[in-house]
Amino acid sequence: MATDPSDFLGGFYGQYAGAQPSRAIKTAMQGVKRGFIDPFTAAEEFAAKGAAAGWRSGQIERGMRRIQRKPFGMESIERYKSLTPIVTGAYSDLLGRSATDQEVQDLFKRAQASRVSSADPGAFESFMTNQLLTSKEGMASITTPEDIAWQRSRGPMFQGQRGVMTFNPQNVNAVINAMIG
């Protein structure tokens, strides 16, 4: 059964036919206030909706100016509180220790500033993993291929200290005796 393209487009544009500019402005401004969308993208979406609904160009322009003047909001830190188990698990898995309360709060503030959605745990976890692994402590805990080659030839390193071997006096005496003969 084939569908008529004009019916499809009519149905597509029909959903905007009953839209009213004041409600569309209010919806766009709420999204900007909560930090879900930036003001310029919200204004463009409002204009597209207005064009599809057949609003007057003056209404569309006034609505766009109102939306663009709205300051871009941020999610509150409290919305990230539910992600605390993810943070504590990542600290223990990646860094081998538990996170302090200050570190958890700092991570939440960085996620808020980077506009990572608290409603998407996957995006937050990816952001957090990147933050932890690129930190000084995280870089020290990653074993690189060069570290593995070094350990194969000289033995295990101290935790977090690249290129450092444990001093063993018996090994030094054995090497001296081997050199002397």
Are residues 175 and 130 both part of a single domain? no
Mean pLDDT, rounded, for 151-159: 70
Mean pLDDT, rounded, for 155-176: 68
What whole-number distance in Å separates Cα of residue 103 and Cα of residue 91? Answer: 10
Read off φ and ψ for residue 13, nearest 5 degrees.
-75, -20
Are residues 15 and 62 both part of a single domain? yes
The residue from 17, 47, 69 where one domain ends is: 69
Are residues 55 and 92 both part of a single domain? no
C-beta of residue 53 within 8 angstroms of C-beta of residue 81: no
Give the residue with greater pLDDT, 168 vs 47: 47
What whole-number distance in Å separates Cα of residue 6 and Cα of residue 14? Answer: 11
Q: What is the pLDDT of residue 166?
A: 62
Q: What is the pLDDT of residue 136?
A: 86
pLDDT digits (tens, 9 = 90+) for 88-112: 998 888 888 899 999 999 999 999 8
What pTM was computed for the model?
A: 0.51
Are residues 19 and 62 both part of a single domain? yes
What whole-number distance in Å separates Cα of residue 104 and Cα of residue 116? Answer: 15
Contacts of residue 12, defined as CB under 8 A and 6 or more positions apart, other chains included, come to none
Confidence class for position 1, pLDDT limits 50, 70, 90: very low
Are residues 50 and 98 both part of a single domain? no
Domain enclosing residue 28, as ranges: 5-69
Closest listed residue to residue 90, CA positions, set 65, 64, 120, 122: 122
Are residues 10 and 33 both part of a single domain? yes
pLDDT digits (tens, 9 = 90+) for 12-26: 555 555 567 788 888
Are residues 48 and 83 both part of a single domain? no
Contacts of residue 86, defined as CB under 8 A and 6 or more positions apart, other chains included, come to 121, 124, 125, 128
pLDDT digits (tens, 9 = 90+) for 35-60: 778 788 889 989 988 888 888 889 99
DSSP codes, 159-171: TTBTT-----HHH
Are residues 11 and 60 both part of a single domain? yes
Q: At what angle do helices 57-69 and 21-33 cross, to 10 degrees?
A: 20
Are residues 22 and 53 both part of a single domain? yes
The kind and range of the H/E element at 167 are none
Average pLDDT of every residue of the chain: 80
Q: What's the domain count of the chain?
A: 3
Are residues 56 and 86 both part of a single domain? no
Mean pLDDT, rounded, for 111-133: 88
Return the C-alpha torsion angle 26, 63, 15, 3, nearest 10. Answer: -150
Are residues 134 and 171 both part of a single domain? no
